[in-house]
């Protein structure tokens, strides 16, 4: 395999990934995108191929799969499955979120952890890559039930964690409540107040200002940088988003602050369009306080309409921000967006655009920011939280957001520079993958075959 050309090498490696990881289509999708981006790198830097760096990079350093037994308020015993994929520690301790969703699988966790390698490398903040969670649904559960689940989950996972080893954060289904319960059990088991072992903590006990807002804010900062390459800014542009959780809500907040008109968002029941611009206060009240659906928003706003059919991507816009889940924006959605004149698409979620959708957007000349670059603000602020914990200090919201904006500008610059170096200006996918890979690759070469 050492003597074949880069293209043949990549195809052979991808075939091996399929063989060794059956039934994990999302992982396959993520790996294929990265491998094809790396072909020109391997041609230009044969030492990377000789060291088998890519072959080593697509195999996780450790995969954890464990039982999580717990009892509900009625005394009934339940058994869930816990996951943690520690993918790469070349640049620092494993770093990545935990998600509690009922359909979570090892393949999904593996794909998320693999994407995290490049995302975390792009931040330049000295963090490795991991991801985890459980097939547990906290919705409808009491605080006591969630606490017992989190304590059981951490009882097994804690032996693999540490501020210099693996530092989880929150993700879908894991907010400040869950992080608090997880941290309390970790402290109880280890007899250490190791603040840097989890991020996403409450601001009163080691958490960072702006962490909740960071992913949504960062995505909008990245869009602003993309538009600037064409001499434009966000002011006056129509924006639609998918989702209405933290990422979407705070993307709305930042986009509105920069002068954009945000007209639509969605949830699992449908989508709402408000031509007057989304009322963020009302939206936050419905989603964060009432835990309600978007039809409630339409009932309260004469300028809004709710639809349970079709897609939020059918709404004409200049900028689309998919912020919900993987593979939600399909080829048909991309065709609709292009037909309606979209200028830029940036992923607030992880891999929300299908490969066919990305192809449509790229062919039409739409600026496309992949999640590993566009939504890196969340993990960047988690790393900033680790930095504050290590120094036993806390920064103001304004200081933290200023650092976040600087990180997102730097990520954009790295993506553009790498893409131009390989003759593919505006190709943020290639730029993000190449820039992230080179940083990890150099660390791997320096550390030997480990």
Active-site option among 95, 110, 119, 131: 131
353 and 224 fall within a common domain: yes
Residues 219 and 180 in one domain: no
**Mean residue pLDDT across the chain:** 96
Mean pLDDT of 272-297: 95
The pLDDT of 214-230, averaged and rounded, is 98
| Residue 127 and residue 240 in one domain | no
pLDDT tens for 295-312 read 999 999 999 999 999 999
Q: Which residues contact 16 (CB under 8 A, 6 or more apart)?
A: none
pLDDT in tens, 425-444: 899 999 999 999 999 999 99
286 lies in the same domain as 350: yes
Q: Is there a domain that residue 87 lies in?
A: yes
Q: 200 in the Ramachandran plot: left (φ > 0), alpha (ψ -120 to 50) or beta?
A: left
Mean pLDDT of 121-142: 97
> In terms of domains, do 126 and 174 share one?
yes
Tell me: do 275 and 318 sit in the same domain: yes
**Angstrom distance (rounded) from CA 56 to CA 54:** 5
In the prediction, which pLDDT does 323 show?
Answer: 97
Q: Is 20 inside any structural domain?
A: no
Q: Quick one: pLDDT band at residue 4, thresholds 50, 70, 90?
A: low
Question: Is 69 among the domain residues?
Answer: yes
Specify the number of domains making up the chain. Answer: 2
Look at residue 219 in the predicted model and tell me its pLDDT.
98
Domain that holds residue 261: 214-369
Domain annotation covers residue 109: yes
Residue 147: pLDDT band (50, 70, 90) is: very high
Two structure tokens written together for 52? 């088998």
What's 243's domain CATH number?
3.40.50.720
141 lies in a domain? yes
Q: Given pLDDT bands bounded at 50, 70 and 90, which one contains residue 2?
A: very low
pLDDT at 7: 86
Known catalytic residue: 254? no
Q: What percent of the chain has pLDDT over 90?
A: 96
Does the pLDDT value for residue 84 go beyond 90? yes
| Helix or strand run (H / E) with residue 113 | helix 106-123
Tell me, yes or no, whether 223 and 356 share the same domain.
yes
Residue 285 lies in a domain: yes
91 shares its domain with 140: yes
User: For residue 58, what pLDDT is reported?
Assistant: 97
Claim to verify: residue 331 and residue 241 sit in the same structural domain: yes
């Amino acid at each position: 395999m050492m003597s074949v050309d880069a293209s043949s090498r990549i195809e052979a490696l991808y075939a091996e990934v399929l063989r060794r990881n059956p039934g994990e289509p999302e992982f396959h999708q993520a790996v294929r995108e990265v491998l094809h981006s790396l072909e020109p790198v391997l041609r230009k830097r044969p030492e990377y191929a000789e060291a088998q760096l890519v072959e080593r990079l697509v195999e996780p350093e450790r995969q954890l799969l464990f039982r999580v037994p717990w009892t509900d308020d009625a005394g009934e015993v339940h058994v869930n499955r816990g996951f943690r994929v520690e993918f790469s520690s070349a640049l620092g301790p494993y770093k990545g979120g935990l998600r509690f969703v009922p359909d979570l699988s090892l393949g999904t966790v593996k794909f998320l952890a693999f994407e995290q390698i490049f995302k975390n490398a792009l931040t330049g903040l000295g963090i490795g890559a991991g991801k985890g969670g459980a097939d547990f649904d906290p919705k409808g559960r009491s605080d006591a039930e969630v606490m017992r689940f989190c304590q059981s989950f951490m009882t097994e996972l804690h032996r693999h964690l540490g501020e210099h080893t693996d530092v989880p954060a929150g993700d879908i289904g894991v907010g400040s409540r869950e992080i608090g319960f997880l941290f309390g059990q970790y402290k109880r088991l280890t007899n250490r107040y190791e603040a840097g072992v989890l991020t996403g903590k409450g601001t009163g006990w080691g958490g960072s200002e702006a962490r909740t807002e960071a992913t949504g804010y960062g995505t909008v900062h990245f869009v602003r940088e993309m538009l600037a390459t064409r001499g434009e800014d966000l002011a006056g542009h129509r924006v639609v988003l998918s989702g209405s959780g933290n990422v979407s809500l705070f993307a709305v907040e930042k986009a509105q602050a920069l002068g954009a008109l945000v007209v639509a968002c969605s949830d699992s029941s449908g989508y709402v369009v408000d031509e007057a611009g989304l009322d963020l206060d009302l939206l936050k009240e419905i989603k964060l306080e009432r835990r309600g659906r978007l039809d409630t928003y339409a009932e309260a706003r004469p300028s809004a309409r709710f639809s349970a059919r079709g897609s939020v991507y059918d709404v004409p816009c200049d900028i689309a921000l998919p912020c919900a889940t993987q593979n939600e924006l399909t080829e048909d959605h991309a065709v609709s967006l292009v037909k309606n004149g979209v200028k830029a698409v940036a992923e607030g979620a992880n891999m929300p655009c299908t490969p066919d959708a990305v192809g449509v957007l790229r062919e039409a000349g739409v600026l496309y920011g992949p999640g590993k670059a566009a939504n890196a603000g969340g993990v960047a602020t988690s790393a900033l939280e680790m930095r504050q914990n290590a120094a036993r200090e806390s920064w103001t919201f304004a200081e933290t957001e200023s650092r976040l904006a600087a990180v997102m500008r730097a990520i954009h610059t790295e993506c553009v520079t790498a893409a131009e170096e390989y003759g593919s200006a505006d190709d943020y996918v290639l730029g993000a993958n190449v820039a992230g890979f080179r940083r990890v690759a150099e660390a791997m070469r320096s550390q030997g075959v480990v």
